[in-house]
Amino acid sequence: MSERIAALAGKVDAQLKDSVRRLPSLAHELAYEVAPAALLTVCRTLRDTEGLRFEMLMDVAGVDYLHHGWDDWQTLSATRSGFSRARFPESAAPDPAAPGRFAVIYNLLSIAHNQRLRLKATCPDTAEPVLDSVVDVWASANWFEREAFDLFEVQYDPDKQRVVYQPVTISPRVLVPKVIRHDHRYEPALRDPQVPR
């Protein structure tokens, strides 16, 4: 860990103490997990504390950990043992109702100190994966939160009288054949100009 990241971690730990838990990350990154109940308080502290001043929310991502660690991903350049591609035994399947399945990742930037931080909050209820909105902390969250919500396939269930999560299905993309227009750009004289001899 660089001295700069260590200094930032010291400031975060001093301000937030038991409100956050440090996550494993690369040497040049800093990541923390926050309990859902403390999310807004932690976000305001990260934004308003003079030594931190994470005044910009760069991105919000929704994460579904259902198959995390249970399956390989396909790559062209990695071996089966490369990039920590551990795989759990196939005898046990992941439980879709297990707690901690859904999480939200907030990527923050301190313009004043030119530093970045990643904050993770896990949704407490898998059946209804929601967290408090951080729009009152960072106005840019308005678009990011709506985009993350829309990327998880949801629909209104009239029996439950609420929006419910549906498994995402991705169908193969059908390529559209190239359309050739018949206009002056395709005249034979323009395509194959006569070379003077």
Average pLDDT over residues 71-85: 54
Is pLDDT larger for residue 28 or for residue 155?
Answer: 28
pLDDT of 142 over the 80 cut = yes
Tokens of 117: 């931080």
> What sign has the CA pseudo-torsion 10, 12, 14, 20?
negative
Is pLDDT larger for residue 16 or for residue 88?
Answer: 16
Contact 130, 137 (CB under 8 A): no
Strands 31-34 and 115-122: parallel
So what's the pLDDT on residue 179?
64
Q: What is the mean pLDDT of the chain?
A: 82
Average pLDDT over residues 70-89: 54
pTM of the entire structure? Answer: 0.72
pLDDT of 133 over the 80 cut = yes
So what's the pLDDT on residue 118?
97
So what's the pLDDT on residue 20?
97
pLDDT of 69 over the 70 cut = no
So what's the pLDDT on residue 176?
63
Alpha carbon dihedral 2, 7, 10, 15, in 10-degree steps, equals -140
Using the structure block, give the residue that is written with the tokens 């707690």.
99
Is pLDDT larger for residue 171 or for residue 119?
Answer: 119
Domains of the chain by start residue, with CATH: 3-191 (3.30.460.80)
Flag the least confident range among 86-90, 92-96, 136-140, 173-177: 86-90
So what's the pLDDT on residue 27?
84
The interaxial angle of helices 3-16 and 39-48, nearest 10 deg, is 130
Maximum distance among all Cα pairs of the chain, rounded to whole angstroms: 85
pLDDT of 160 over the 70 cut = yes
- pLDDT tens digits, one per residue of 13-60: 999 989 999 999 888 899 999 999 999 999 999 999 999 999 999 999
